[in-house]
Amino acid sequence: MERNTSALFWRMLDVVEKDIVPLTWEGVRQGHKVFGAAVLRADDLSLVLAGTNHEAECPLWHGEVWTIKEFFAPSPAGHPSVPRPAPEECLFLSTHEPCSMCLSALAWSGFPRVYFLFGYERTRADFQIPHDLRILEEIFDCPSPRRKSSFLELFSLEEMIPSLANPGEAQARFERLRAVYLELSETYQATKEKSSVIARK
């Protein structure tokens, strides 16, 4: 069991770094936010597809919703003839704890297991984006979503670290990815400022 948790932790961080982050670098340069997602097959942890936020095109295109849309698309870009597994055969990975819209989208789509790298509190502290928590509190009167329901179960990758065989190494890897996301966020902010200056001209 512990070996499985370790394998899953390291694989998920690999997917964030190698599959999601490159898409997000491209995305932030086009003015989209830093949040990304991926779908993996539960049996061998192979990647089905990765995606990133497209909020500058439409405010609903959070990383998760975009990725779900691509997952169900008949021939998604870059994966023309790969047959899709069923959502229940997959693990869903979010770089950041999913917001209320994305959680509902995941429940409606039938993904039973959802992993996230950075929790709401980190999102609020690192990126000054408190909307997730404010929407939950103000609209749903809910301090935080349930980790387990009949629709899906949510797992924090950061919270797995103390139970891993090599927690020091895992924490260091986590912190390296955190630094990458802070850099992505700075690039996003700079791109946004530049485009609002251009718009004012």
Q: How far apart are CA 20 and CA 64, in angstroms?
A: 12
Report the residue number, 115 or 170, with the smaller CB distance to Zn ion: 115
In the complex, what is the shortest distance from the CB of residue 82 to Zn ion, in angstroms, rounded to a whole number? 25
Asked if 29 contacts 21 with a C-beta cutoff of 8 angstroms, the reply is no
DSSP H or E run through 50: strand 47-52
Stretch that binds Zn ion, among 70-78, 93-101, 136-144, 159-167 (CB under 5 A): 93-101
Report the residue number, 133 or 170, with the smaller CB distance to Zn ion: 133
Q: How far apart are CA 39 and CA 50, in angstroms?
A: 6
Q: How far apart are CA 176 and CA 9, in angstroms?
A: 15
Report the residue number, 87 or 98, with the smaller CB distance to Zn ion: 98
Question: Pattern 58-87, binding to Zn ion, x per CB under 5 A?
Answer: ----x-------------------------
Number of residues that bind Zn ion (CB under 5 A): 4
Stretch that binds Zn ion, among 49-57, 67-75, 94-102, 161-169 (CB under 5 A): 94-102
Helix, coil or strand: residue 56: coil
Stretch that binds Zn ion, among 41-49, 96-104, 145-153, 174-182 (CB under 5 A): 96-104
Report the residue number, 63 or 87, with the smaller CB distance to Zn ion: 63
Strand pairing class (153-156; 113-118) = parallel
Among 20, 90, 102, 129, binds Zn ion (CB under 5 A): 102
Stretch that binds Zn ion, among 54-62, 71-79, 133-141, 151-159 (CB under 5 A): 54-62
DSSP line for 164-175:
SS-HHHHHHHHH
Asked if 188 contacts 34 with a C-beta cutoff of 8 angstroms, the reply is yes
Q: Which residue has the tokens 């009949």?
A: 150
If one asks whether residue 34 binds Zn ion (CB under 5 A), the answer comes out as no
Report the residue number, 101 or 164, with the smaller CB distance to Zn ion: 101
Nearest to 119 by CA among 132, 110, 103: 132
* Positions in the binding site for Zn ion (CB under 5 A): 62, 99, 101-102
